[in-house]
Structure formats: C-alpha cells, structure tokens
Chains A and B, each alone.
Chain A
Amino acid sequence: MKALFNRLGPAGSLSLAIILLFVFVAMFAPLVSPYPGQGAGSPNIAAKFRAPSADFWLGADHLGRDMLSRVIFGARVSLTTGFLIVALSLLIGLPVGLAAGYFGGWVGEILMRVTDIFLAFPALLLAVLLAAALGAGMLNCIIAVAVTWWPWYARMARAEVLVLRGQPYVEAARLMGVSHARIIVRHILPGAVRPLGVQAALDVGPALLTASALSFLGLGILPPTADWGQMVNAGRGFFPDRWWYSTAPGLAIFIVALAFSVLGDALRDKSEGRSHADA
C-alpha cells in the first residue's frame, strides 16, 4: 500500500482512488444509488427538472429521474465501454503486432502497412462512419472505436517483440526446435504483455472519451440506458437554465478521463509518448 503510494505520488494515488471509486460505484450501482429504478431508466414525471436538493443531490432530468443515480448507472456503461474498447483493441492489435514483429519479413511488412493505413485514417471520422453503418448500440459503438484503436497496440506489441526476439533464451528455444506458436505464447507474450497492459489500462480514459463523443452524436448507447455522453447531449437543449442536466455527466467524463491521465503520468513519470487524436 505504502509502496504503491510512494511510487504514484499524491496525485497519482488520488487518481487511482478516484478510478477505483468509480469502478466500485459502477459495480454496485443498484446498491449505492439513491434511486436505483430511476438510474436504470424508470421515469418519475412528478420530479421533472427538479433542481439539485436534498432529495436529488444532482437534480433530476426531463423525466424526473435522479441525476446522481443516472450518473452512477452511467458509470457502469461508460466504464464498461471504455474497458471493452481497449480489450477488443488488444485482442486485434496484440496478435497482429506479435506476428509482425516475430516473423518480420514480408508478413511483418504487410501487417504493418495495413496498420499504418488504419492509423492514417481520421480516427473519429472512421468511428462515426462505422457506428452509423453498424447502427447505434453499445456493442456496435465498442466495435466502431476499437477498429480505430487497435493499430496503436499492434505497433507497441511489434516494438516489444523486436526487442524480445533477440533475447538469448528466445534464440535458444528456436534452436531447440520449439514451435513458433509455443515460442510466441511462452516466451514472447509474457514479456510484451506487461508494458502493453499498463498502457491499455490507462487508455480506458481516452477510449471512454471517444465513446462518449459517439454517444453525444446519438450513435452510441441508446436511452433509456444511462450513458454520460448521451446525457450531456440530452441536456444540451436545457443548458444553461437547467445546468445540472449536462453538467453532472459532463463532469463525470472529465473526472474519470482526468484521473486516468494523471495516473498514466504518475506511472510513466517522464513519458510524452503517444497520444490519440480523438474526441
């Protein structure tokens, strides 16, 4: 515990705490939200547009639902979306990068050129195009963003493999006639997974940002499921008179993204590495 705090510093530790808090709240949303039914989408017309008060800490939306409960339930969707985007991207990017790095040659060349093409495509535009093509919905939104996201992991994985491939123990395994698949899984993957894993965990923030942009455009998660981006959009027509409607989910996105960002800095300390041109 203490070691972790020392490593992350105060800001990083605080960020980690915030992220964990959001994860906790998301996992136990029905238990921690004041009005779980409303969080899940049941309307409560009587409280339409109630301003923040003791009953509704963050006010109520156009159907009278408690904003705090909506934001808490939104955390579920938004965080899950963020995690799944990264996971799916890893699932595509990691094998591509491993293969490209391990085999090199024309296989690697082709794989990396395909990766480059995806990287050179204006990311948000591609995501919007795909989301519109696939139709709205959480899964489609995840796929749409992941398609623009995986090339980063392919590149990183390849870079890691290029280093690992030259390691004596890998050479030795190859000389002993161990199969390619086994070498990759046994010797290369473990070495590549850790740096990629850290990066991927930190990317949940930016991934969530991009997904929220799609939801804001009406291409992501659909009502009555609570989603932060979609809620900001829904409240826009009433902004700033009923400021709480857009502000609560907007700030939630900001805080989570910020926490991931700060945590990332704390972990990498001095890295100005990659950055996504999205959202």
Chain B
Amino acid sequence: MDLIRYFLRRLVLSALVVLGVTAMVFVVAQVVPSDPAALYAGPRPNAEQIAKAREALNLDAPLPERFAHFAHAMATGDFGVSYKSRRLISEDLGVYLPATLELAVFSTGLALLLGIPSGVVAAARRGSFLDRFGGLGSIAAVAMPTFFLAMLLQVVFAQWLDILPLSGRMSREFSVIDPLRPVTGFNLIDAVLAGRPAAFWDAFLHLILPALTLASYPAGVAMRLTRSAMIEILQRRHIVAARALGLSEPRILFGHALPNAVGPALTVIGLSFAYALTGAVLVEIIFAWPGLGRYVSEAILSKDFPVIAAATLVVTLCYVVMNLIIDLAQAMVDPRVALS
C-alpha cells in the first residue's frame, strides 16, 4: 500500500518535472536573442527570404498562441522540423536516440562491472594495498575531467597501442560498404539479429572507449558505495556467524554479503545512466558518436529551437523514467525508503 502511494507520488513529481522542463525550454527560447526566421531561411539568406520564413513559421503570432502550438507539439511528439536542416526531428531522433541509449546502457554496465567487484575486494581486504590503491583510483576517477580523460584514452588506446578505434560507431567497412539494417538502432542488437558476428565485434570495439570515459565517474562512486556497504554488512551478526561456522571467504562475500549491496548498485545504475545521458554532450563530440548529445549541442549552438526542445524533452523523459524505475526498485528492496 505504501509502495503504491510512494509510486504515485513519484509519478506525479516526474510529470511535474517534465512539465517544468518544457516550460523552461520555452522560456529560454523566448529570451535568447535569435532569429529563427534567419536560421530557417537557410545559409546566407537575403532580407526577402527571411521575411518569407517569418511568415512560414508564424513567428509574428502572439505569445500565447505560439506557446499553445509548442505545448501541443511536445505533448503529441510531433516535433516538426529543424529550423536549420528542415528535416523531420522525429526522424533524426530515431537515429540518434538509440545511439546514445546504447552507449548509456553499455557504460552503466561497465561502471557496475568495474566498480562493484573492486568495492567488494577493497572491503574484504580493508586497509590493504589493494584497498588504498582502489580508494585513490576511485577518487581520481571522480576528479578527472571527462573531456581530458577522453583525449588521453584516445591517445593511449587508439593512437599508441592502436588496438581500439579512435571514434565513430562502426568501421567504414560496415558503415559504408555493407551497413547493418537498422531494426532497433542498437548496433549490437542489430548485428545479432542480422547474424553478423564481425559487425557485432566491430560495434563492440567502438563502444569501449566512449563507454569507459563515461563509466569512470560512476565506477568510482560504485566502488566507494559498495565498499562502505560491504564493510557495514560484513560486521553484521549473520556474517560473523557464517564466518564462525567456517564458510569460505568468497562464499561469504558473494553468497551472503553481496546481495545486501543491491541498494548501492541501484543507486549507481541511476547515477551512471544519468551521467551518461548528460555527459553525452561532451563525450559524443570527442568520439564523433552520432548521438543525441552531439545533436542537441549542435542545435544549442545554432539556436535551433525545435530541436533543442525535442531533444531536451526526450533526454529528460529518459532521465525521469530511469529515476522512477530506480526509486521503485529501491523501495521494493528496502521498504523504509517508501516510508521516508
């Protein structure tokens, strides 16, 4: 019962967030000094072309009318066309959203994979060299500027060692000569569906560096959360009892203690996903990843308002839905959350 009430509360709040975001984007669009008509009229337009675009875009309509139109567009998902490219935004989103989600999911997985085991080990060998080293690593991961880390990873793995691709989503062999048919838009899944292991492997290799860049921060957090959760749990009575009964250490760690660390893991998933979605703005530019981050940052720079609005809304939706799921899962794992 509490759980349902909690969920409903969160749902209402999420709706408020989406509404707030939409309103905020509209306000920003109004205060930004820009002339959508000049943008829509194409490169190097003359006065006549701009006047024509003004009319076509109905820019001289009163504010409330434009807001109504805008709100309708946001609500129905009919985002219209980009001022700059005049392409259908929904079509562009169909290409860029999966690219970003694929990266976000992959980097979240990587963060858990790196952070949780190292947290467990650090907790088990508390105070050891490994623990200290891991502690320093986790702090460093948090303090590292994303864009600088990306550059370093590129130099080391793509240019010096030459074992991973520098950037992009797939090698030209696949992107140009024999492209994957986009079914889900997730290259890994599409490669499996098409039964093409080489393409899968290629897409996988391209994911590693950008995902690692995005995973570094949440992995650092994951390690610290896991470590402290484990330390606390290892001191609890049933673990001490298990130890006294002579159960093997790995068995205690992974069989009894780790399940209690689900809470922090959930936190990290939420954090990592959010981080990947917003960090995409930086990382996608450096790794030439054709995703939402690059799409929206380009739009922001050229003040392509419909694209900004649509992309921001979509990112926020992903963000909010993910948070909702995490909160709910957390409440199910630990009912105290719902009560607070």
Chain A residues in the interface with B (C-beta under 8 A): 113-114, 116-117, 120-126, 128-130, 132-133, 205, 209, 212-213, 216-217, 229, 232-233, 236, 239-240, 246, 250, 253-254, 257-258, 260-262, 265, 270, 272, 275, 277-279
Contacts and interface: CB of A to CB of B under 8 A. Distances in A.
B221 A275 contact: yes
A217 B297 contact: yes
Contact of B148 (A114, A232, A261): A232
Contacts of A275: 142, 221, 271
B143 A205 contact: yes
Contacts of B25: 129
Interface of B: 13-14, 16-17, 20-21, 24-25, 28, 31-32, 139-140, 142-148, 151, 155, 159, 221, 224-225, 228, 271, 274-275, 277-279, 281-282, 285, 296-297, 300-301, 303, 308, 312, 315-316, 319-320, 323
A255 to B, nearest CB: 8
Contact of B145 (A121, A122, A132, A209): A209
A123 B228 CA distance: 27
Contacts of B159: 240
Contacts of B147: 213, 216, 229, 232-233
A124 B224 contact: no
B151 A117 contact: no
A276 to B, nearest CB: 9
Nearest to B308: A129
Nearest to A209: B145
A265 B278 contact: no
A68 to B, nearest CB: 18
B146 A116 contact: no
A270 B271 CA distance: 20
A270 B144 CA distance: 22
Contacts of B301: 132
A217 B293 CA distance: 12
A231 to B, nearest CB: 11
A236 B147 CA distance: 10
A254 B148 contact: yes
A128 B148 contact: no
A133 B28 contact: yes
15 contacts: A114-B20, A116-B17, A121-B24, A122-B278, A122-B315, A125-B277, A129-B25, A129-B312, A205-B143, A232-B147, A233-B147, A240-B155, A260-B143, A277-B275, A277-B278
A124 B300 CA distance: 13
B128 to A, nearest CB: 17
Contacts of A232: 145, 147-148, 151
A122 B316 contact: yes
A209 B278 contact: no
Contacts of A212: 145
The interface centre, meaning the residue of A205, A209, A233 with most chain B CB atoms within 10 A of its CB, is: A209
Contacts of B13: 113, 116, 120
What 10 A-B pairs have minimum CB-CB distances, sorted nearest first?
A: A257-B143, A250-B148, A258-B143, A124-B278, A117-B20, A120-B17, A122-B278, A132-B300, A133-B32, A277-B275
Contacts of A114: 20
B319 A122 contact: yes
Nearest to A249: B148
B271 A272 contact: no
A240 B300 CA distance: 29
A121 B21 contact: yes
Contacts of B323: 120
B268 to A, nearest CB: 10
A232 B224 CA distance: 29
The interface centre, meaning the residue of B25, B275, B323 with most chain A CB atoms within 10 A of its CB, is: B275
B139 A254 contact: no
Given A277-B275, A277-B278, 13 more contacts: A114-B20, A121-B17, A121-B21, A122-B315, A213-B145, A213-B146, A217-B281, A229-B147, A254-B143, A270-B228, A275-B221, A279-B145, A279-B279
Contacts of B320: 120
Nearest to A258: B143
Contacts of B21: 117, 121
A133 B285 CA distance: 20
Contacts of A236: 151
A117 B15 CA distance: 10
A172 B323 CA distance: 42
